Amino acid sequence: MRQYNQTKRILVTGGAGFLGSHLCERLVSQGHDVLCLDNFFTGSRRNVEHLLDSPRFELMRHDVTFPLYVEVDEIYNLACPASPIHYQYDPVQTTKTSVHGAINMLGLAKRVRAKILQASTSEVYGDPEVHPQPESYWGRVNPIGPRSCYDEGKRCAETLFFDYYRQHRLRIKVVRIFNTYGPRMHPNDGRVVSNFIVQALNGEDITIYGNGSQTRSFCYVDDLIEAMDRTMNTPDDFTGPVNIGNPGEFSMLELAEQVIALTGSRSKLRHLPLPTDDPKQRCPDSSLAKAALGGWEPQVPLAEGLKRTIEYFDALLARER
């Protein structure tokens, strides 16, 4: 690894996506040289166009299922569709992105002796029997269901990361991301926050799956990126996995009510059947993150984060009208 100055060359795969674009923005602002990699399946050039004039930012179209030969100091591996609509569109490719992508990025990290972080997911816990979910919980995942391409792909990627750590002494970090929301979410990704906001702004019925009692925790994107950055900069003997999310827990009905109130919408609730293998509860035990990441805790309350996200979608929908 280069030692001649403090500026690092950092690769972000999936860098034009929702989370990746915010991460690229942060790293550029810190003075690092950022190589943003994306195949634009769910990512968008628009998410990073404000960075294109920076001499510290480079955008490359590439699919992580193919090998990559570049020189970098650190790698953030975020490449993979993360919403059911997108990852179920081509489930075989979703698994390839998680597994082949991990193999290719780990191989690159091994060759150039880079530190590498894997963006894993709370989906590795499946429909949990333990609540809230600590990192020690092995999960309850259906290996052959419609969500398995994502759930098991991410679980296999974690396996690969820890095998490279044990076998090759690679410097790894693994974060398990819980529901995150904020500006630059894809408006049609089918995730609950974007769904509710877009439906409310358009005056459409808000679709609730099941009776709405199922719960999620919602972490604003700025808090997530802060935790991810801190994780990459922990001592080498800290590998994770570490849960990154907001321990505040809300039902789908509570979320819908907040969105309707904040948008001033007259939308009504419409209940639909619960999707296969949809978890009834999802909430992180975030005690390890607080202990290992310098006292990290989410700072943005749900109401404030929703206001910022609503403003983003309101402007986006206005441009498209």
**CB-side neighbour CA atoms (13 Å) of 165:** 20
The answer to whether 321 touches 263, Cβ cutoff 8 Å, is no
Mapped onto helix, strand or coil, the DSSP state of residue 315 is helix
Mapped onto helix, strand or coil, the DSSP state of residue 262 is helix
Which secondary structure element, helix H or strand E, spans residue 295, and what is its range? none
Q: Which two tokens stand for residue 190?
A: 């089918």
Give CATH for domain 9-181+219-246+283-299.
Answer: 3.40.50.720
13 forms beta bridges with 37, 77
Which residue, among 300, 59, 54, 82, has the nearest Cα to 179 in the 3D structure?
82
> What type of residue sits at position 26?
R
Rounded Cα distance, 85 and 96, in Å: 17
**Residue 86 Cα distances to 47, 91, 167, 208, 272, angstroms:** 18, 9, 34, 19, 20
Domain ranges of the chain: 9-181+219-246+283-299
Q: Which two tokens stand for residue 61?
A: 């179209």
First to last CA, the chain: 49
pLDDT of residue 248: 92
DSSP-derived pairing of the beta strands 115-121 and 172-177: parallel
How confident is the prediction along the chain (321 residues), in pLDDT tens digits per residue?
444 458 999 999 999 999 999 999 999 999 999 999 999 998 999 999 999 999 999 999 999 999 999 999 999 999 998 767 777 878 899 999 999 999 999 999 999 999 999 999 999 999 999 999 999 999 999 999 998 998 999 999 999 999 999 999 999 999 999 999 999 998 888 789 999 999 999 999 999 988 888 888 999 999 999 999 999 999 999 999 999 999 999 999 999 999 999 999 999 999 988 777 677 888 999 999 999 999 999 999 999 999 999 999 999 998 876
The answer to whether 150 is a known catalytic residue is: yes
Which residue, among 85, 313, 77, has the nearest Cα to 197 in the 3D structure?
313
pLDDT of residue 303: 95
The three-state DSSP-derived secondary structure of 98-114 is HHHHHHHHHHHHHHHCC
CA 74 to chain CA centroid, nearest Å: 18
Q: Active-site residue among 87, 150, 164, 181?
A: 150
pLDDT of residue 231: 98
pLDDT of residue 319: 84
pLDDT of residue 321: 66
